[in-house]
Chains A and B, each alone.
Chain A
Amino acid sequence: MTATMVQGFRRYEFTSTITNFLSTLTIEMNTYPYEDTNWKVSYYPKDPYSQPKAYNSLNQTYGTPLGSLTLENLNDTSLFFSLCLNHSVSYGWTTYGYQLRCGLNRPTVGEAPYPDVSLAIGEESNIPFHTSSSNVTLNITYKWTVFPLNEAIFIFGEALNNIGNAYPFRLYLGRMSAYEEEDPVVKGSFVGIFSHAPIGSDTNWANNNLYSVGRGVVRTSRNNKKYELYNFCTSAQATSPGSGNRYFVSPWYVFQSKEGVRGEFQQMRSVVFKDANQHPDGTMIDLDGKRYHVFHVNDQQQPTSYKYWIDTAGQTRYIQPYFFDSNTLLGDGQRAILFELPSEVSK
């Protein structure tokens, strides 16, 4: 294991299979002296929401629970996320692939994992690890890099095997920054889950390729609609520095066709460096009065097999994965994520 610590900023890196991911993450983030200062992570190996069940015969369970975890923010206990590992299975026993069922609200009773997003808006909101082409369930090994921020967590997964089926994994969980002052009640619920797999699907693969946008779920919209879907996008192609040593740094905008742009991911920006050597992975960069930690993104190819996955309700979901505005850069350059760090205060 490795962990990087800078002024309360932590970065965890480890390699694990999908089935060991949640438990390993829990160990990493709780190991002295690297315990995370912002988030409490708890693992529940026997969580009932992680118990695979036949979608066409709901009383039939398959195997044992795959495990769940909860992420609770230490400064703001209303920030509470659940990730429950599961896979799709039909009676007679064919399995169709690993996915995470998600929750972004604290359960009304207790502290156990509670995937309220998948319970409220359906299993289409799950986060798939790989395509279901040829009805496979692959326990893929990923290199994980996890960034727990003040009020959010970003998880990056680079598949190390089965790359013909694996989705490059990206997941943002947390609060967003709103561009306008919002009523505290509304603002408190501008909390979302955004992954590489846009929620909602089109059964026509050709049509599906037309939207190049991410889509996730937010606790409530500005007018208090629960589990509202919001799009997100960033501009991560323009190479920096350009002429005049300009850096083009883009936030992840969070928007919705009725509200327009409401805010952005916290503490995260995207950039493309002309020369990766000038800004190595793990270094800091000062830009425009702000200090950032540099994370080099590995632009992995999307699955070569069909881009659909099958959810735990047995539905086929055709998606065009999105996180960075393009999957790969045309020409040279190194895509990076910049994590905003607190600047030091001098006396």
Chain B
Amino acid sequence: MAVPKRYSWVSTISEFSNNAEIQMAGDSWWEVKKYVQTAVTSGGNWGNTVFKNLADNSLCFTMAFHAQSYNGVIRWGMMNNVTPKVDVFTDSLDKGFTETPFSCDTSQYNITYKWTVFTMSKGVFIHGEYQSHINYAYPVRIYMGRLASLEPEDPAILNDFVGIFTHMPSNVSNSNAATYGEYNVGRGVVRKSRNGTKYEYYNFTTDAQLTSPGVGGRYYVNPFMVFNPSEGVRGQFDDIYTACFKDASQHPDGSILDLGDNKYYVFHVVDQQMPYNGNYIRWYTSSNNVRYCVPCFFGSNNVMGGQRVILFKI
């Protein structure tokens, strides 16, 4: 595949949709459109964005940015609906537990982020670096797109191996203060499991700590493995890998890492702190249900020495 297209801008959450439509017009792989709240079933009051894949009609993601009284969240859609609809929110069993919050609770913070959006032929990656409300904001990480299965699968099943994975694990909520942080794992939603369960939860994990190159010039490039306790590992994010460089200046942001057989586009991740706030694990769904969960995307929030990167396979 080609080098991913990269877009970046700075805006508040409620301006994301406007900027995305303007900035990403003419993208090689995705059509990006904004919608007002009333145009989307259960749409968001902070704007709505639909990413539609140009080559594959079934690939379509809806983001509804919604603010209630405590914090802003994203409601998700992952089907190609005639009228845009956040179907994960409206049709899945756990509804609100699939939302992605922007901040921990206590107020409606319309946070300013530096957004970096990467488009690839089968997926979109969004990185949000907060610029305001540092005591409350979560660093944003989102992958939405096709997943690569490790085994050849029946095409009908394979076609629904499409997921949304964000910094806030789906459907994990623990009100016991003692057990925060016990699970150090991400969790997202996949269109269908191997046996056809809709909106199945899958965990994901990567090893983004090992500093490279190690002895002998070895590079440790890790996939995001996607698994489910009843199926085991089924696949991984398509063409996205992680690594951690000893020396960031040898591999600047935006450069190409050539490891012989494989070439990668390098993106430097900004490891921002989790909110410095006693309640940083508490947020509310758009239905005002309280949730307690520790965000997780890279296995650890910070690295002890080195520069964490995302590698997009070229």
Contacts and interface: CB of A to CB of B under 8 A. Distances in A.
A328 B229 contact: no
A42 B246 CA distance: 42
Contacts of A240: 232-233
A328 B214 contact: no
A261 B214 contact: yes
A258 interface: yes
A interface: dominant SS? loop
B210 A253 contact: yes
Given A179-B218, A326-B183, A243 B169 contact: no
B304 A231 contact: yes
Contacts of A23: none
Nearest to A209: B181
Interface string B122-134: 0000000000000
B213 interface: yes
A331 to B, nearest CB: 3
B interface: dominant SS? loop
Interface string A212-223: 110100000010
Contacts of B216: 179-180
Contacts, number: 171
Nearest to A324: B184
B232 A260 contact: no
B183 A243 contact: no
Contacts of B169: 330
A231 B300 CA distance: 13
A304 B176 CA distance: 10
A304 B304 CA distance: 25
A327 B230 CA distance: 20
- The size class of the interface chain B forms with chain A is 35 or more
Interface stretch (B55-63, B75-83, B201-209, B257-265): B201-209
B178 A304 contact: yes
- The size class of the interface chain A forms with chain B is 35 or more
Contacts of B229: 239, 274, 329-333
Contacts of B185: 237, 326, 329-330
A271 to B, nearest CB: 11
Interface string A221-236: 0100000000101010
Contacts of A259: 211, 214-215, 246
Interface stretch (B33-41, B84-92, B220-228): B220-228
A290 B232 CA distance: 21
A171 interface: no
A301 interface: yes
Given A239-B233, A328-B183, A330-B169, A206 B211 contact: no
Contact of A327 (B149, B181, B215): B181
Contacts of A248: 225, 232-233
B214 A260 contact: yes
Contact of B203 (A237, A243, A253, A256): A237
B1 interface: no
B313 interface: no
Contacts of B194: 243
A262 B215 contact: yes
Contacts of B233: 238-240, 242-243, 246, 248
A238 B184 contact: no
B274 interface: yes
Nearest to B235: A243
A241 B151 CA distance: 12
Interface string A256-282: 111111110000000000100000000
A257 B245 CA distance: 9
A276 to B, nearest CB: 11
B202 to A, nearest CB: 10
Contacts of B273: 207, 210
Given A239-B228, A326-B184, 17 more contacts: A179-B215, A180-B216, A210-B302, A211-B303, A233-B299, A235-B299, A242-B231, A243-B194, A244-B151, A246-B233, A248-B225, A261-B211, A302-B182, A327-B184, A328-B182, A328-B183, A331-B230
| Minimum-distance CB pairs A-B, first 10 | A257-B305, A242-B233, A261-B214, A260-B214, A242-B232, A331-B229, A326-B184, A212-B300, A244-B151, A304-B178
19 contacts: A209-B301, A211-B302, A213-B303, A231-B304, A235-B205, A235-B222, A237-B185, A238-B205, A243-B151, A244-B151, A250-B207, A255-B210, A258-B246, A260-B211, A262-B214, A326-B183, A327-B181, A329-B229, A330-B183
Interface of A: 178-180, 182, 206-207, 209-213, 215, 222, 231, 233, 235, 237-244, 246, 248, 250, 253, 255-263, 274, 301-302, 304, 320, 325-333
Interface of B: 149-151, 153, 169, 172, 178-179, 181-185, 187, 194, 203, 205, 207, 209-216, 218, 220, 222, 225, 227-235, 246, 273-274, 276, 280, 299-306
